[in-house]
Amino acid sequence: MQHNVNWLQALLVLSLSVTLGWTVEVQRPRGVPLTKRQFYDEAKPFTCLDGSRTIPFDRVNDDYCDCKDGSDEPGTAACPNGSFHCTNAGYRPTFIPSSRINDGICDCCDGTDEYNSGASCQNTCKELGRKEREALQKLAEITKEGFLLKQQLIEEAKKGQQEKQSRLSELQDSRKGHEDKVEALRTVKETAEQPEKEAKERHLKAWEEHKAALRLEKEKAKMAEVFLELDDNADGFVDVSELQTHQELDPDGDGTLTDTEAQGLLGGAHKVDSTEFMNMWSNMKEKYVSEVCPPTPSSDLDKDPDSVYPEDDLDEDAAGEDDEDDDDDDDRDDDDDKVISPLQVLEKLSVCERERWCLLCNAALLPFSFRALEKEISFDFGPSSEFAYLYSQCYELTTNEYIYRLCPFNRVSQKPKYGGSETSLGSWGSWSGPEDNKYSVMKYEHGMGCWQGPNRSTTVKLTCGKETAVVSTSEPSRCEYLMEFTTPAVCLEPPNIDTQVHDEF
Amino acid sequence: MGFIRILIELSLICMNPPRMSCLLAVWLAVVLSGIQAVDRSNFKTCIQSSFCKRMRDVVPGHSPYRALLETLELSNTRLTLQLINDNNKVRLLLELYRLQGNMTRLKINELKPLRPRFEVPDVLIADPPTEPLSLVSQDEGGVVLSLGADARHLVVSARPFRLDIVEGPHVLLSVNSRGLLAFEHQRPRKDTGIGQLTYSVCLYPCLWCDKEEDQADMWEETFKSHTDSKPNGPTAISMDFSLPGVEHVYGIPEHAENLRLKTTDGHDPYRLYNLDVFQYELYNPMALYGSVPVLLSHSTQRTMGIFWLNAAETWVDISSKAAENTDSVQAPSKVAQTDVRWISESGIIDVFIMLGPKPTDVFAQYASLTGTQSFPPLFALGYHQCRWNYKDQEDVRSVDQGFDDHDIPYDFIWLDIEHADGKRYFTWDPAHFSQPREMLQGLVDKRRKMVAIVDPHIKVDSGYRVHKEIRSKNLYVKNKDGGDYEGWCWPGTSGYPDFTNPEMRSWWASMFAYDQYEGSMENLYIWNDMNEPSVFNGPEVTMHKDALHGSWEHRDIHNLYGLYVQMATADGLIQRSGGVERPFVLARAFFAGSQRYGAVWTGDNAAEWSHLKISIPMCLSLGLVGISFCGADVGGFFKSPSSELLVRWYQTGAYQPFFRAHAHLDTPRREPWLFGPENTALIREAVRQRYALLPYWYLLFYKAHGTGQPVMRPLWVEYPEDVTTFTIDDEYLLGRDLLVHPVTDEGSKEVTVYLPGTGGVWYDAFTFQRHEGGQNLYVPVTMSSIPVFQRGGSIIPRKNRIRRSSSCMEKDPYTLYVALSPQGTAEGELYIDDGHTFNYEQKKQFVHRRFIFADSTLSSSNISPDSQFSTASWVERVLILGAHKPSSVTLKTSGQSPFDFDEATSVLTVHKPGVNAGADWTLLFQCRNPLSIVL
């Protein structure tokens, strides 16, 4: 009967050509790998490999499943969980599920799985082996060259990193000046606040007194500032003509500050020194508009001491930061601590103040370049910064319908080839390869939303290549894009010995 | 696929102006956004459908119709009799037929219609053979006719007109007993000019006495922005049927409803009008994609059926009461009664009353009228992997490979509308499916198949051959003004071939020839979606009722359109193979008779537990009216299932006739291996169970094809006297022998399974544990549980070597599961043929065996001695469930067979009898005691 496979027939004479070119004949039941040959001794009863049962050896490969683990039928399809070993001489040996034995489909390249189905299988192992060797060789070459390129990239990245670091420290140095100023102002404030605190601890009354004193102090400071501002010719006196540059001080509101009116403001004198000015100031301060900067509302220093019972003003300021800093697309900022950074102080300054401040520092130290540099330095460009060269670069791939654009560490987009607006397929999210190979996959998230679906996102798979290029794009699931990207940066050090196809030995 | 696709499609159209389409897309976007479930306002209620309202306004009472007994004519085959409406003196002609197989047909038409009224063609497989009606008695009150044996009579009462079918002292069914017969005769329009009126007055003097005022909406009606011109005026018909002693009625699919129909008092009737309903709601009487106007009644005494052969929009009212049993000759008593009223917009009254009395009799009677389920190729019973849309050939290849990588069998991968070039069906998208034959060959190499969609809306594009030819042959449906009817569908502006025209159908069929349908191959099969027909910008998302199919209005044929599409496609697949190969065609819209052309599914469901649950009664209802090859989209079409829901749906789908996973374009991918290894394993196991049972499924379909018995059956069909079973629709039978109670609740820890058949036993299909029949069984479940039970007394063949596809398993051996009855007996069948050709029919090439276990002997004998077929399959194992340990097992021809006996489960396993599955053989079980059930 067709199905009764005699085990003797099932013993195959296997010719295995190995790289050395010698041949060996090994007898074993059909479908058994050499490594398990010793368990199939035709002279003894067979014990299922899970030890569950022992059966006469003639029930091995008799097309009836006796062992729960399927080990008695390595060469037939009788067991639901069995596996068949293809020797595939000339190529890679492999196991196939035993359900693929004699199903009319050639699975093993040596065709040994279809011994009784009528399917005529060509032995394609040699061809496959050759192709694989070629592919491996090519891959090895690519890896080799790619790895060399990677070394260069690492070197460049190192240099670049150093440059950036030094630029950053330069910036930090010049910023130091600013910081010092900020620090000084802070000290002034804290000094001012110190008595406040003490007053608070003692009693409120003293606090009120102190406030008055403080107000006076502040008033004095302000007045001094105004005096300097008004004293255009810096002769130590404010005169009528100097005062007339501030028409807003006009007492009768007719829009003109006449000589007489100005003189009136100065207490009848033609000009006053700073001490005298102090007495006159109360007449003008309501109307006076500074020539320099409007007071910055967020500035601690200008804060009206009446308005707030003194808390930790500095912290409050830092907390305010979160609300205002919503203009940028960089998620990392969300991770920042509430500790105020010099940079943030800088950013908090009004434009006017910034300009003023810039007079004090290096013109190159624009806050934004500082910020960009800091951001760049903060990126994870891989263990040796080998991915740093991708920063601020973009790579395109044109398909039938679309132009895809990958700007590493920034964003992915898609644009119809023949006109139409660009669609964001995600912004830089994170490295998201498996734990042992984190830098093999990039994830871009929060792209444009899909109708009734998720926001678009893109997974970029990195493979070793000499070129840096997007090689394919696809949308495996609705609005979830997959991009394949080659770069030398992921090339691994080639093994010392050339990879070769091993036979079973 | 549903209406929601429009958005995406139309927004694509926007890339190429015309501006108008963009505006439409925007409008639709506004209209559709935020819709979570069906927008009921898109579909008519009875009150919004003027004829339904008019007919429903007729209240029970004295019927104006009177039988004119003097007009009675009785021939050998039929009785004719005129009826007169005393209100308007319009006469109707009644025809009565006694049909072979215990059926009565009654037809009512206008005696002198102004225009002929539509009579549904192509649904009956033949003119039903008649039997002589004989006059038993006649007086001025009426006539009594004999319906053959059992003192079965048809009583015609004259004043008012009424029919009663009685058997002995019992009234089985009454017609017009509530006086709801109404027949809107055709009339000339009164406002069309004096000349016409005079003319018609001359011809129809009775109009003078017509007391019926023209009501609004009789000559034109508007729904939303659509106006129906109704040039023929009112033409509705209505009739009532009373079923004394009946509390349970079933059928009239398709509705998202329980198996047992509800009464419709106080809300809308069940509606039958094939519609593309976007995100349909459950448990309501709204119309869905298909219609089968067949209602079954069942009581412990009798099962009957009413087949209302009308293809126009139809509404069915059901009410019940405890009626005074005055019609009985016996003393009056209170009995339950169900009243059914049918209302249709046009056509004639043509009713088949199927008198049973057993459920199997009703199935056979209905099958004798409309034919049986087509016998599908075996592989169509395997698992189908579908998605809107597999994007390109590489996608198809990688999904195909995914099944092998995860060792999950499947037979078909499906391509939805995106595969075609701009939704021009019969073509391939040049960018993504440029080498269809290469792709199909890749599947041939794996012994697998593909289904491509071919919808019946044709893109209006002068460069598209299909359109050009249909237009030049003048085969499109016409609009009311005589031009080609155009509507919006997936491709944009589309024409609708007039499938009611045989010339159109034959041309369509010819398009499936391999040299016409470029890129097609033998392993490419077809899916007809949107065949209601769906017209996005039409009234209720379908065709205008005043569109024209030749001389008939769309109003007359609407529910038939989908059937014709599937018919023409199935014919095409048969013809392309020279009449050799069995076709496989899936359709969404259907009508009575659609069972002859392929499979149907329950349309665009959703990934919700409630939709999983309702798939059971929806397919059971279809099975009752002949359509056995039914399934629901596994996983749910809209939305995204949780992994638990997906697994449960696979487990349920594996035990429903048509087993296909499908998903909406906007849902995340959900191939079985995307939910983690545990869920992959659970899905794999469910699919493998399906494949193991394919021999049983195949047998059930063979028998359904032969006899009309449903594959998937309500319990009451097999236990007609067990009242408990009458409302059960969370479990069902496959054939007689497998009882399935899928887990359809989230987080289930147990299910309660009703095991019918007091005195019988059931065996868990996997643990082989034995349970008594006639009890509610509490079954604890885990995620891997699919509660399935095999009936004690049955023998089921399985193939336990699960391979990549059903074709790969062709030559594999069988394992017989012999489940002993308490009497120690069992019986079963096995059917084998080549799996895909008509040779079983034309050349009798098949194996049909009967297995009988009795007196400790299991034997296989030939049921069809004139058949011949040689199979490579053999019997590798026999399991006897509920056995005693024998002392020896002997195969008569070749001696002792080794066996195992498991004391714990009482399962006896005979190893490798090795006999050919087509051969006669006998296994003898020698026992110290006769083999019988373990008690």
Question: Residues A238-263: pLDDT tens digits?
Answer: 787 777 777 777 777 676 777 777 77
Residue B468 token pair: 């050009």
Cα of A35 vs its chain's centroid, Å: 47
Q: Which residue has the higher pLDDT, A196 or A95?
A: A95
Tell me if B256 sits within 8 A of B290, measured CB to CB: no
Picking from A3, A451, A476, the nearest residue to B813 by CB comes out as A3
CB of A475 within 8 Å of a chain B CB? The answer is: yes
- The whole-number pLDDT of residue A179 equals 64
DSSP secondary structure of B480-542? TTSSBPEEEETTEEEE-B-TTSHHHHHHHHHTTSTTTSTT--TTEEEEE-STTT--TTSGGGS
- The whole-number pLDDT of residue B151 equals 85
pLDDT in tens, A218-236: 777 777 777 777 777 777 7
pLDDT in tens, B450-490: 999 999 999 999 999 999 999 999 999 999 999 999 999 99
Please give the residue of chain B at the shortest CA–CA distance from A97: B407
A377 φ/ψ angles, rounded to the nearest 5 degrees: -65, -30
Instruction: Label residue A3 by pLDDT band (50, 70, 90).
Output: very low
Residues of chain B found within 8 Å of residue A454, distances taken between Cβ atoms = 668
CA dihedral B6, B9, B15, B16 (to 10 degrees): -90
**Is B914's CB within 8 Å of A3's CB?**
yes
Residues of chain A found within 8 Å of residue B7, distances taken between Cβ atoms = 451
Which of A278-282, A413-417, B645-649, B674-678 is predicted with the least confidence, judged by mean pLDDT?
A: A278-282
Top residue of A1, A3, A399 to mutate, by most chain B CBs within 10 Å, is A3
pLDDT in tens, B193-207: 443 443 333 334 333
Which of A343-347, A427-431, B913-917 is predicted with the least confidence, judged by mean pLDDT?
A: A343-347
Q: Is B931 exposed, middle or buried (0-12, 13-18, 19+ CB in 10 A)?
A: buried
As a whole number of angstroms, the distance between CA B495 and CA B456 comes to: 9
* % of chain A surpassing 70 pLDDT: 72
Residue B263 token pair: 């009464």
Which of A35-44, A491-500, B348-357, B445-454 is predicted with the least confidence, judged by mean pLDDT?
A: A491-500
CA dist B844 → B82, B698, B831, B848 (Å)? 49, 16, 12, 10
- The whole-number pLDDT of residue A167 equals 80
Predicted structure pTM score? 0.82
**Is B808's CB within 8 Å of A103's CB?**
yes
Mean of pLDDT values over B534-545: 98
Tell me if A292 sits within 8 A of A356, measured CB to CB: yes
Instruction: Label residue A285 by pLDDT band (50, 70, 90).
Output: confident
Residues of chain B found within 8 Å of residue A452, distances taken between Cβ atoms = 666
Instruction: Label residue A315 by pLDDT band (50, 70, 90).
Output: very low
Reply yes or no on whether the pLDDT at A306 is more than 60: no
Picking from A2, A420, A478, the nearest residue to B666 by CB comes out as A478
**Is A100's CB within 8 Å of B804's CB?**
yes
B683 φ/ψ angles, rounded to the nearest 5 degrees: -65, -45
Which of A84-98, A283-297, B775-789 is predicted with the least confidence, judged by mean pLDDT?
A: A283-297
**Is A451's CB within 8 Å of B7's CB?**
yes
Catalytic residues of B: 529, 604
Instruction: Label residue B608 by pLDDT band (50, 70, 90).
Output: very high
Question: A100: distance to nearest CA of chain B, Å?
Answer: 7
* % of chain B surpassing 90 pLDDT: 88
- The whole-number pLDDT of residue B14 equals 36
Please give the residue of chain A at the shortest CA–CA distance from B806: A103
For CA atoms A192, A198, A199, A204, the dihedral sign is positive
Q: What is the ipTM of this complex?
A: 0.88
Tell me if B479 sits within 8 A of B548, measured CB to CB: yes
- Average pLDDT, whole number, for chain B? 92
**Is A1's CB within 8 Å of B914's CB?**
yes
Residues of chain B found within 8 Å of residue A478, distances taken between Cβ atoms = 665-669
Cα of B671 vs its chain's centroid, Å: 27
A442 φ/ψ angles, rounded to the nearest 5 degrees: -110, 145
CA dist A316 → A81, A178, A312, A338, B670 (Å)? 67, 21, 7, 10, 50
- The whole-number pLDDT of residue B928 equals 65
Top residue of A452, A456, A475, A479 to mutate, by most chain B CBs within 10 Å, is A452
**Is A4's CB within 8 Å of B872's CB?**
no
For CA atoms B41, B46, B48, B52, the dihedral sign is positive
Instruction: Label residue A347 by pLDDT band (50, 70, 90).
Output: low
Top residue of B421, B803, B871, B873 to mutate, by most chain A CBs within 10 Å, is B803
Reply yes or no on whether the pLDDT at A216 is more than 90: no
**Residues near A48 by beta carbon (within 8 Å), at least 6 away in sequence:** A54, A55, A66, A67, A68, A69, A71, A72
